[in-house]
Amino acid sequence: MNKGKTLTAVAACLITGAALAASPNKTFDLTDTPKANPFGLVYRGAITRNMEGRVNIHPVTYKLHGLTISANVYTPAGYDPKKTYPAITVAHPNGGVKEQVAGLYAQRLAELGYITIAADASYQGHSEGEPRNTDKPQFRTEDIHGMADYLSKYPGVDPSRLGALGICGGGGYTINAAKSDKRFKAVATLSMFNSGEVRRNGFMNSAVKTINERMKQASDARALMATTGKVLYSGEVDYSKVTNESLKSVPTDLYREGIVYYGFTHRAEGSSFRYTTESLMDLMTWDARDQVNLITAPLLMIAGSGADTLYMSKEVFSMATGAKDKELYLIPGASHIETYWVPRYVDQAVAKLNDFYKKHL
């Protein structure tokens, strides 16, 4: 199979829909790989060692429904456990791990005086759970409640000043968690991705006609797993077959830039596009928009004005009628993935988040 056809097949699996308009002519540096970091962090400007008077990172584990969860807690410069600090949970994107964009934003917020936590989702990264890469909304939502549980007991954290940040798929799940978890006094998302809507309808509603067909495939995958133990996966990417020419066959900026981010520039152990096919039984019957009016905390939704995922943030924002203090903030020109790492866009997002959390925490 040639490389172009391989990526086309991968894109179809990820998008679950027809080709969509995008600008595929950008050339990427596919040799740019992360440098070794003692904490496994792959984002630029990451902590390489803990130093007195600076932001420090604390790898921790804790139990959640019988599974050991792997997380990193970031404490501000001059952290004193006898003092009290506002705190923020940071939920990573679908397929991501705590060492990528979630860690970047957790570190940047810690630099501003917050205690933050970024945890690998259950069944993903360095957290426990079998089969690996099970991606179910109820688990991902519970992961966020679990981060709040752990952070609320962390030395120095003021539980009455707890905020939440969710990125991409973690944004959709943070929205879901915030509907019922009133511990969160301020809720923010970055480049929110409504996993249920996309897995069901296809990206930009491009696969509505095949919903029941794909649901049958998910049901068959569960039956196979139940009877034989064999696990089927969707969304597999063979990075060895990725070239700039083959990337032109990927029809959206989100997935084209995502393949480069996750497979090359910010590659991290445990990060993967794949998810168990049977997860679609849960994903396709779930939606971040459902009962979103239950969110009463202040809500900030940040997205790039050039993001092909922007429609998802707009949908949730318009339906979040219970949040009386809410704002949809657009970063001019940014695509979805660019909000993860491009310095000028990250700086804008962090500044806006700081204003928001300072006001409400």
By three-state DSSP, how is residue 274 classified?
coil
Predicted local distance difference test score (pLDDT) of residue 29: 79
Strand (E) positions, the chain?
Answer: 56-64, 67-75, 85-91, 115-119, 157-167, 184-190, 233-234, 275-276, 299-304, 326-331
Predicted local distance difference test score (pLDDT) of residue 8: 41
Predicted local distance difference test score (pLDDT) of residue 35: 81
Q: Round to whole Å and give the CA distance between 307 and 301.
A: 13
- List, for the chain, all residue ranges whose pLDDT scores fall below the cut of 70: 1-25
**Whether the Cβ atoms of residue 269 and residue 124 lie closer than 8 Å to each other:** no
Q: pLDDT digit string (tens) for 127-137?
A: 999 999 999 99
Burial track 62-74 (b if 16+ CB lie within 10 A, e otherwise)? bebeebebbbbbb
Domain 3-360: top CATH class: alpha beta
CB burial of residue 113 (10 Å; 0-12, 13-18, 19+): middle
Predicted local distance difference test score (pLDDT) of residue 24: 59
β-bridge mates for residue 188, sequence order: 165, 300
Predicted local distance difference test score (pLDDT) of residue 23: 56
Predicted local distance difference test score (pLDDT) of residue 251: 83
**Whether the Cβ atoms of residue 303 and residue 328 lie closer than 8 Å to each other:** yes
> CA of 81: how far to CAs of 53, 110, 241, in Å?
14, 14, 49
Q: How many CB atoms are located within 10 Å of the residue 25 CB? A: 8
Q: Where are the domains of the chain?
A: 3-360
Predicted local distance difference test score (pLDDT) of residue 30: 85
Phi, psi (deg, nearest 5) at residue 216: -65, -40
Phi, psi (deg, nearest 5) at residue 357: -70, -35
pTM of the model: 0.93
- DSSP at 56: E
**Whats the size of the chain, residue-wise?**
361
Predicted local distance difference test score (pLDDT) of residue 27: 81
Predicted local distance difference test score (pLDDT) of residue 4: 40
**Whether the Cβ atoms of residue 51 and residue 237 lie closer than 8 Å to each other:** no
